[in-house]
């Protein structure tokens, strides 16, 4: 069951709700959604899927599936939402228009619009499994595919990638439009740290260091752990022990539910304005509150022992 009481504010909100939208549903395990289903039934006292509320699930199962630590492919697939017991009662409505690609011609750049259209079509074919996989040494099958030459960036290292994506970065430091139009995606935190370090070195401004204060929870009942060991722990839910920032560089909030009433949400991108001792002043770069200035204070974070590094 979800952590809420029948007389809580969230329970009252659920009782009044007629429609509930669940975005990014392909990343949520069926067990978690089933827990929400049971909680809705108890809260509304209606023995029907989700207490009789209309649920709208939005996402693409060709994208990221549920993230389960150290799980096999079969286990992850079995945890997908379309394996839930209520899935046969779900009515599927498919969307066929890529709005971002459709809006590209409005930028009066026919070459960019055509390139974006071809990339979108290629990614769709990859997601549908229509791209033939390559065979490796010994004519053995693999999960590798061939990337079209026209969407490859010249070079074979990260520096070439940075030069192509963030070209002329020095004169554009602090400009919101420059950074919101560019991003580099990677699957692992260790790659993010390497790329961030290279990007930070490209900005000719004073670097400010923030150092975390790490300690074990309930230390009195556990074996003493040296601080050096705690500082070296790299966990996906915690920031690095040494965090380096410069004025004018972009940052992103990735910790959810820090302050539900705040204008900052998970994925909000900001531009650093000033770096204080206990807080960071930044200008919001994305979302409905773009342009507003906010303060990000030092925050106490607790991680679970089951949350490993990525």
* Confidence band for 245, pLDDT divided at 50, 70 and 90: very high
- Give the tokens for residue 301: 């974070």
In percent, the amount of the chain with pLDDT more than 90 equals 15
* Confidence band for 228, pLDDT divided at 50, 70 and 90: confident
pLDDT at 281: 92
Q: Which residues neighbour 302 within 8 Å (Cβ) at sequence distance 6 or greater?
A: 217
- The arithmetic mean of pLDDT across residues 263-272, rounded, is 83
- The arithmetic mean of pLDDT across residues 233-249, rounded, is 80
Q: Which residues neighbour 85 within 8 Å (Cβ) at sequence distance 6 or greater?
A: 34
Query: Which residue has better confidence, 111 or 71?
Result: 71
* Confidence band for 152, pLDDT divided at 50, 70 and 90: confident
Query: Which residue has better confidence, 262 or 172?
Result: 172
pLDDT surpasses 60 at 258: no
For the chain, the structural domain boundaries read: 9-89, 97-151, 153-310
pLDDT surpasses 90 at 86: no
* Confidence band for 20, pLDDT divided at 50, 70 and 90: very high
Query: Which residue has better confidence, 35 or 287?
Result: 35
* Confidence band for 107, pLDDT divided at 50, 70 and 90: low
pLDDT surpasses 80 at 35: yes
pLDDT at 159: 86
Query: Which residue has better confidence, 19 or 113?
Result: 19
pLDDT at 309: 46
pLDDT surpasses 90 at 56: yes
Instruction: Name the least confident of 111-120, 172-181, 278-287, 297-306.
Output: 297-306
pLDDT surpasses 80 at 223: no
Most confident of 37-41, 157-161, 230-234: 37-41
30-to-39, 87, 253 alpha-carbon distances in Å: 14, 10, 27
pLDDT at 218: 62
* Confidence band for 2, pLDDT divided at 50, 70 and 90: low
- Give the tokens for residue 258: 């820090």
Residue 130 exposed, middle or buried by CB count within 10 Å (0-12, 13-18, 19+): exposed
- Give the tokens for residue 175: 């400009």
* Confidence band for 55, pLDDT divided at 50, 70 and 90: very high
Instruction: Name the least confident of 46-50, 87-91, 143-147, 223-227.
Output: 223-227
Most confident of 134-138, 275-279, 286-290: 275-279
Q: Are 196 and 243 in contact (CB under 8 A)?
A: no
DSSP per-residue codes, the chain: --S--TTSHHHHHHHH-SEEEEESGGGS-HHHHHHHHHHHHHHHT--SGGGGPEEEEE--TTS-----TT--HHHHHHTSGGGSTTGGGPPP------HHHHHGGGGS-HHHHHHHHHHHHHHHHHHHT-SPEEEETTTEEEEEEPPPGGGPPSSSSHHHHHHHHSTT-GGGTT-HHHHHT-----S-HHHHHHHHHHHHHTS-S--EEEE-----TTGGGS----HHHHHH---TTS--SEEEE-TT-EEE---TTS-TTSS--TT-EEEEEEE-SSEEEEEE-SSTTTT-EEEEE-------TT----
Q: Mean pLDDT for the chain?
A: 82
């Amino acid at each position: 069951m979800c952590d809420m009481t029948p007389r809580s504010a969230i329970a009252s909100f659920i009782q009044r709700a007629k429609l509930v939208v669940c975005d990014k549903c392909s990343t949520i395990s069926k067990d978690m959604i089933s827990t929400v289903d049971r909680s809705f039934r108890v809260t509304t006292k209606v023995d029907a899927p989700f207490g009789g509320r209309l649920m709208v699930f939005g996402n693409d199962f060709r994208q990221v599936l549920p993230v389960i630590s150290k799980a096999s492919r079969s286990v992850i697939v079995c945890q997908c939402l379309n394996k839930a017991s209520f899935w046969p009662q779900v009515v599927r409505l498919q969307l066929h228009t890529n709005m971002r690609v459709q809006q590209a011609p409005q930028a009066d750049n026919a070459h960019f619009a055509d390139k974006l259209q071809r990339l979108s079509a290629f990614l769709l074919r990859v997601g549908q499994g229509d791209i033939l996989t390559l065979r490796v040494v010994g004519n053995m099958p693999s999960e590798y595919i061939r990337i079209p030459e026209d969407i490859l960036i010249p070079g074979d290292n990260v520096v070439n990638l940075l030069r192509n994506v963030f070209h002329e970065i020095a004169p554009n430091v602090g400009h919101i439009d420059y950074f919101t139009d560019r991003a580099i995606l990677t699957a692992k935190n260790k790659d993010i740290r390497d790329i961030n370090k290279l990007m930070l070195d490209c900005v000719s401004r004073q670097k400010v260091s923030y150092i975390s204060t790490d300690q074990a929870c309930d230390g009195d009942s556990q074996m003493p752990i040296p601080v050096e060991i705690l500082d070296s722990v790299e966990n996906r839910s915690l920031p690095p022990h040494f965090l380096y920032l410069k004025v004018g560089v972009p940052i992103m909030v990735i910790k959810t539910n820090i302050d539900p009433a705040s204008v900052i949400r998970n994925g909000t991108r900001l531009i650093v304005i000033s770096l204080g001792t206990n807080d960071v002043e930044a200008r919001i770069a994305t979302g409905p509150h773009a342009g507003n200035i906010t303060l990000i204070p030092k925050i106490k974070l607790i991680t679970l022992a089951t949350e490993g590094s990525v």
